[in-house]
């Protein structure tokens, strides 16, 4: 099986960096931010690796995983890290963050998919910065491929996948035929969430997160192929279809007030906060 | 029973600063044999090792402490989760950073392995000792074993299939290694029958690996007394069959494990060799009576290793205290202390807490710089050997000189940082609900094993200062002097550099004083001041390296705005250096006065006068 995994870098949510917005409010200032791969996309990478191996003998690769990102040269660090984690090769589409929107990313991925002809495209259900939950669905539409979103379990079966999706009120199970687009949710990395055609039923992975990049793989990562393509060569002439009008930071929290008693609280909630 | 929960954290930005910005790891990586390594590989390695520390070993730190090790039917049982962690740690490959490529390693610089050890050991000292000792034992066979021995043991030990130990100590032979009486009787087939009792053997028995390879110091028939008569033997727990597999038991019995103050997850075994006359060992290499020489070759690594254990815990304890100080609200800001309605503030706002935090920060970062400097010298010495022997000699000389400082100052500092971390926590720091009391208990052993800090001080004063005709010491003092000369008029750090200059003069004067005593036959005075001198020289080095970091940081800070994360990081470097220069370095000058005053009361007081009981 050949799988294309789309990765996006995001500002590390755990560090103390503040994402800055210049006074003009025309963009987000990304200078000095620390980057990491969007966590849901990392889960997609782990899913792809599990689908291309026998869980019992993960060292033998049974398929190909191609990691893809769109961004400036420094995003190659993120791709190298995906290669060290186990992806077989990588593609970077050279562009800058502010030259992109969801539709353009989907269009660029469409062209890459047409070149690469994978059986499956995997990505996170959404990106933790913009939270748009858009690219997977748009890509499936552009390709006119079957799609399953919010995958929590994936079992490979002949010619396709059985996908368990967590939805309000339960699990909806979809059967999708290859080629397909699947976006994954966080439970996809539970020990027995993903089963390739070779992984025995009942097998459990001994971890529930993205696997470690072992030292030998880190050292080999730079020997794995990493191709660079120009955005214009994929989607020449395409323009942004979303227009960013203005960025502003959420209002700072104001200091609270202490109330004397419940009555005053109720009164303030009713008259000042207008919450009741 | 304690639930696995990670409390460990590290500041990766600081680690990258020390490696790349202060000590120029980038330049080292361009040299043989490190070319496979680039900045990207180093950073990825650090972030993956950090994941391993926080996700695999860190969560077991308190578990190991609460459960400890026990002996069941002659077999040590390690704490819950240790077996699984052992597997994961070895699968990750990070224990073979500096293993030679022929045994599956990656020829990484020692300095990277050192920082990786700070993370793994800092997250769980007790666990990390099992792989640590295993690597040490395998290093010995790799360096001195016959080709067959390397083949038979090194692959399996470096890959974690088997473990290893160092068996030196006996009940009557602790610091006095030469008093060891374990006996090795040569058999007709060239093997040796080993008999004797070894105590305090870290990892002496465990249930993590199918075999354990003990490196045993023992005396052959007719060998002279003292350290010279000792030979080094390879003694596996299970005999190794012709096909290399582990076979029957080799009459090495684990009679008990110690009940210790700390590092409880590490088994400390009493081993009885040859109780039934069935224990077979092989000489490591081909010559008898080379044991102590062979062990000494590995001593620098082992002692730097203990320094790293100290650094690991000191850093963890500091960051725990910092986290607590930012969260815990108590009292009002000092400006509003009389106002009962003033908002309660986090204790990090209180001056005394800030003083303790900065004390910890300066010492932790200073010790880290000291160790990284030592490890970088080691790497440069190895990379330059045979290419530029003069330069290699300089670097090796600095390793020799700095090793006792690294071992002692780091281990003493670790205990003191842990103590202060408890103090910052207040009452809860004294409970097992917070990790810092365990840090203090775990850290205490560092000043004792691998040569007590008293022995380190004697090693420094009696051997290292005068080594190579005093050249290593002169080069060291010259390096500090060159920094002082260059930065004497630094706009921000000038006054602090002046304190460094005073400390430098004090240390140089004390070196002359020590030399004077040894030349005039007043040798008895020297052990009385050796510890003091080691501390003085350590503080001089740490003060220097902190100021060196601050000079670099202030340059890099230019052009950054205050809301940049790196601005605050560099600002931290400046304040740590100034604090140390203003509040620690002056004591070096005072210490020099005490040293030269030559008080001999500890010698003059009669034994009976210490107490009447």
Q: Nearest CA of chain A to the CA of B308: how many Å?
A: 21
Share of chain A above pLDDT 90, in %: 71
A17 and B45: CB-CB below 8 Å? no
DSSP result, B256-315: EE---SS-TTS-EEEEEE-TTS--EEEESSS-SS-HHHHHHHHHHHHHHHHHHHHHHHHH
Q: Does residue B55 belong to the interface with chain A, where contact is any CB pair within 8 Å?
A: yes
- Mutation for A interface: B46, B92, B95, B120, most A CBs within 10 A: B92
Q: Does residue A177 belong to the interface with chain B, where contact is any CB pair within 8 Å?
A: no
For the question of residue B450 being annotated catalytic, the response is yes
A20 and B36: CB-CB below 8 Å? no
Please compute the mean of the pLDDT values over residues A99-107 and round it to a whole number: 93
What are the sequence ranges of the domains in chain A? Answer: 2-271
C-alpha Rg value of chain A to the nearest Å: 22
**Chain B residue with minimal CA distance to A81?**
B44
Q: Does residue A219 belong to the interface with chain B, where contact is any CB pair within 8 Å?
A: yes
pLDDT band at A13 (very low <50, low <70, confident <90, very high): confident
Chain B residue numbers with beta carbons less than 8 Å from the beta carbon of A15 are: 565
d(CA B304, CA A62): 44
Active-site choice (B14, B365, B437, B450): B450
**Chain A residue with minimal CA distance to B341?**
A258
The answer to whether residue B446 scores a pLDDT higher than 70 is yes
Chain B residue numbers with beta carbons less than 8 Å from the beta carbon of A215 are: 45, 48, 92-94, 96-97, 106
In chain B, which among 541-570 make CB contacts under 8 A with chain A? 563-566
Q: Nearest CA of chain A to the CA of B51: how many Å?
A: 8
pLDDT band at B273 (very low <50, low <70, confident <90, very high): very high
pLDDT of residue A17: 56
pLDDT of residue A15: 60
In three state form, how does the secondary structure of B396-427 look?
A: HHHHHHHHHHHHHHHHHHHHHHHHHHHHHHHH
Q: Does residue B402 belong to the interface with chain A, where contact is any CB pair within 8 Å?
A: no
Neighbours of A10 (CB within 10 A): 18
pLDDT band at B358 (very low <50, low <70, confident <90, very high): very high
Q: Nearest CA of chain B to the CA of A218: how many Å?
A: 6
B48 and A209: CB-CB below 8 Å? no
pLDDT band at A125 (very low <50, low <70, confident <90, very high): very high
Q: Nearest CA of chain A to the CA of B160: how many Å?
A: 15
Q: Give the contacts of B485 (CB within 8 A, at least 6 positions apart).
A: none
Nearest to A32 among B84, B94, B564 (CB): B564
**Chain B residue with minimal CA distance to A29?**
B564
pLDDT tens digits for B466-515? Answer: 999 999 999 999 999 999 999 999 999 999 999 999 999 999 999 999 99
The answer to whether residue B1 scores a pLDDT higher than 60 is no
Nearest to A18 among B38, B52, B563 (CB): B563
**Chain A residue with minimal CA distance to B89?**
A214
Size of interface A-B (CB pairs under 8 A): 57
d(CA B212, CA B488): 55
Nearest to A77 among B40, B91, B106 (CB): B40
Q: Does residue B6 belong to the interface with chain A, where contact is any CB pair within 8 Å?
A: no
**Chain A residue with minimal CA distance to B85?**
A206
Give, as one character, the DSSP assignment of residue B37. -
Straight-line distance from the first to the last Cα atom of chain A, in angstroms, rounded to the nearest whole number: 57
Q: Does residue B45 belong to the interface with chain A, where contact is any CB pair within 8 Å?
A: yes
> Which residue has tokens 């130990």?
B165
The answer to whether residue B565 scores a pLDDT higher than 90 is no
Please compute the mean of the pLDDT values over residues B172-201 and round it to a whole number: 96
pLDDT of residue A14: 67
In chain A, which among 188-207 make CB contacts under 8 A with chain B? 206
**Chain B residue with minimal CA distance to A80?**
B40
d(CA A178, CA A170): 25
pLDDT of residue A18: 63
Burial class of residue A246 in the structure, from the number of CB atoms within 10 Å of its CB (0-12 exposed, 13-18 middle, 19+ buried): exposed
In three state form, how does the secondary structure of B69-123 look?
A: CEEECCEEECCCCHHHHHHHHHHHCHHHCCCCHHHCCCCCCHHHHHHHHHHHHHH
Chain B residue numbers with beta carbons less than 8 Å from the beta carbon of A16 are: 565
A218 and B44: CB-CB below 8 Å? yes
**Chain B residue with minimal CA distance to A84?**
B44
B106 and A20: CB-CB below 8 Å? no
- Mutation for B interface: A57, A211, A212, most B CBs within 10 A: A212
Q: Does residue A209 belong to the interface with chain B, where contact is any CB pair within 8 Å?
A: yes
Residue range A2-271 in CATH 3.40.50.620: yes
Q: Nearest CA of chain B to the CA of A77: how many Å?
A: 7
Query: B514 near B458, Cβ under 8 Å?
Result: no
A221 and B565: CB-CB below 8 Å? no
Q: Report chain A's mean pLDDT, rounded to a whole number.
A: 92
Neighbours of B470 (CB within 10 A): 13
Nearest to B92 among A20, A77, A214 (CB): A214
Please compute the mean of the pLDDT values over residues A148-170 and round it to a whole number: 95
The answer to whether residue B450 scores a pLDDT higher than 70 is yes
Of B137, B198, B130, give the one whose Cα is nearest residue B168.
B198
Q: Does residue B117 belong to the interface with chain A, where contact is any CB pair within 8 Å?
A: no
The answer to whether residue B165 scores a pLDDT higher than 60 is yes
Nearest to B565 among A16, A80, A214 (CB): A16
pLDDT of residue B570: 97
Please compute the mean of the pLDDT values over residues A169-194 and round it to a whole number: 96
- Mutation for B interface: A37, A39, A218, A221, most B CBs within 10 A: A218
Q: Does residue B258 belong to the interface with chain A, where contact is any CB pair within 8 Å?
A: no
Neighbours of B492 (CB within 10 A): 13
Query: A53 near A87, Cβ under 8 Å?
Result: no
Please compute the mean of the pLDDT values over residues A250-254 and round it to a whole number: 77
């Amino acid at each position: 099986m050949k799988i294309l995994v789309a990765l996006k870098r995001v500002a590390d949510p755990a560090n103390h960096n503040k994402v800055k917005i210049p006074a003009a409010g025309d963009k987000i200032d990304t200078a000095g931010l620390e980057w990491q791969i969007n966590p849901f996309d990392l889960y997609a990478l782990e899913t792809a690796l599990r689908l291309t191996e026998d869980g019992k003998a993960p060292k033998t690769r049974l398929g190909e995983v191609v990691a893809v990102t769109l961004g400036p040269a420094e995003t190659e660090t993120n791709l190298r890290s995906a290669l060290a984690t186990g992806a077989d090769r990588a593609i970077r589409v050279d562009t800058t963050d502010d030259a992109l929107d969801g539709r353009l990313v989907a269009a660029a991925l469409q062209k890459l998919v047409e070149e690469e002809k994978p059986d499956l495209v995997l990505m996170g259900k959404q990106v933790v910065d913009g939270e748009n939950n858009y690219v997977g669905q748009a890509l499936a539409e552009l390709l006119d491929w079957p799609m399953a979103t919010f995958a929590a379990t994936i079992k490979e079966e002949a010619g396709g996948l059985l996908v368990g999706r967590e939805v309000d009120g339960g699990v909806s199970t979809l059967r999708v035929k290859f080629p397909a687009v699947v976006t994954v949710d966080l439970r996809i990395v539970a020990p027995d969430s993903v089963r390739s055609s070779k992984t025995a039923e009942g097998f459990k992975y001994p971890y529930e997160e993205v696997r470690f990049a072992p030292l030998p793989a880190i050292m080999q990562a730079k020997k794995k192929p990493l191709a660079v393509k120009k955005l214009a060569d994929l989607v020449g002439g395409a323009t942004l279809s979303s227009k960013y009008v203005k960025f502003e930071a959420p209002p700072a929290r104001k200091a609270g007030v202490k109330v004397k008693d419940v009555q005053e609280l109720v009164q303030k909630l009713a008259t000042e906060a207008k919450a009741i | 029973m304690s639930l696995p929960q990670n409390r460990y954290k590290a500041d990766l930005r600081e680690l990258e600063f020390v490696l790349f910005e202060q000590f120029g790891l980038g330049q080292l990586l361009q040299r043989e044999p490190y070319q496979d390594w680039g900045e990207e590989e180093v950073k990825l390695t650090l972030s993956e090792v950090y994941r391993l520390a926080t996700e695999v070993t860190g969560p077991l730190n308190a578990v190991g402490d609460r459960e400890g090790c026990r002996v069941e039917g002659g077999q040590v049982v390690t704490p819950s989760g240790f077996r699984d962690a052992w597997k994961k740690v070895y699968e990750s490959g990070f224990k073979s950073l500096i293993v030679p490529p022929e045994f599956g390693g990656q020829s990484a610089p020692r300095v990277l392995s050192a920082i990786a050890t700070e993370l793994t050991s800092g997250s769980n000292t007790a666990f990390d000792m099992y792989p640590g000792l295993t690597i040490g034992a395998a290093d010995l066979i790799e360096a001195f074993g016959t080709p067959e021995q390397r083949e038979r043991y090194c692959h399996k030990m470096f890959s974690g299939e088997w473990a290893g130990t160092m068996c030196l100590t006996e009940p009557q032979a602790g610091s006095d290694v030469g008093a060891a009486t374990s006996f090795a009787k040569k058999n007709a087939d060239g093997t040796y029958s080993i008999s004797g009792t070894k105590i305090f053997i870290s990892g002496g028995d465990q249930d993590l690996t199918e075999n354990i390879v003990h490196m045993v110091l023992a005396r052959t028939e007719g060998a002279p007394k003292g350290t010279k008569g000792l030979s080094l033997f390879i003694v596996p727990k299970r005999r190794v069959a012709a096909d290399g597999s582990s076979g029957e038991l080799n009459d090495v019995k684990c009679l008990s494990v110690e009940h210790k103050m700390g590092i409880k997850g590490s088994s400390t075994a009493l081993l009885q060799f040859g109780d039934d006359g069935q224990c077979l060992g092989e000489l490591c290499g081909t010559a008898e009576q080379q044991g102590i020489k062979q062990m000494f070759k590995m001593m620098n690594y082992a002692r730097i290793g203990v320094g790293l254990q100290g650094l690991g815990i000191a850093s963890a304890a500091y960051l725990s205290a910092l986290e607590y100080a930012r969260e815990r609200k108590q009292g009002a800001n000092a400006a509003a202390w009389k106002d009962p309605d003033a908002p309660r503030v986090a204790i990090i706002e209180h001056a005394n807490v800030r003083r303790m935090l900065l004390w910890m920060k300066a010492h932790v970062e200073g010790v880290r710089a000291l160790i990284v400097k030592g490890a970088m010298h080691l790497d440069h010495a190895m990379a330059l050997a045979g290419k530029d022997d003069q330069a290699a000699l300089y670097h090796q000389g600095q390793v020799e000189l700095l090793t006792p400082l690294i071992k002692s100052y780091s281990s003493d500092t670790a205990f003191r940082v842990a103590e202060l971390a408890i103090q910052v926590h207040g009452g809860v720091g004294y409970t097992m609900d917070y990790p810092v009391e365990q840090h203090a208990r775990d850290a205490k052993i560092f000043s004792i094993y691998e040569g007590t800090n008293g022995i380190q001080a004697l090693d420094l004063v009696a051997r290292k200062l005068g080594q190579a005709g005093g050249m290593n010491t002169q080069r060291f003092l010259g390096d500090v002097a060159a920094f002082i000369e260059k930065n004497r008029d630094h706009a921000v750090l000038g006054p602090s550099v002046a304190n460094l200059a005073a400390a430098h003069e004090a240390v140089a004067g004390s070196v002359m004083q020590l030399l004077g005593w040894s030349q005039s036959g007043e040798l008895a005075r020297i052990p009385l001041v050796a510890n003091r001198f080691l501390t003085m020289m350590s503080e001089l080095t740490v003060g220097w390296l902190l100021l060196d970091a601050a000079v670099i940081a202030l340059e890099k800070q230019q052009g950054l705005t205050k809301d940049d994360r790196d601005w605050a990081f560099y600002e931290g470097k400046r304040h740590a250096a100034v604090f140390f220069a203003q509040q620690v370095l002056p004591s070096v000058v005072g210490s020099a006065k005490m040293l030269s005053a030559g008080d001999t009361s500890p010698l003059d007081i009669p034994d009976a006068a210490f107490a009447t009981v």
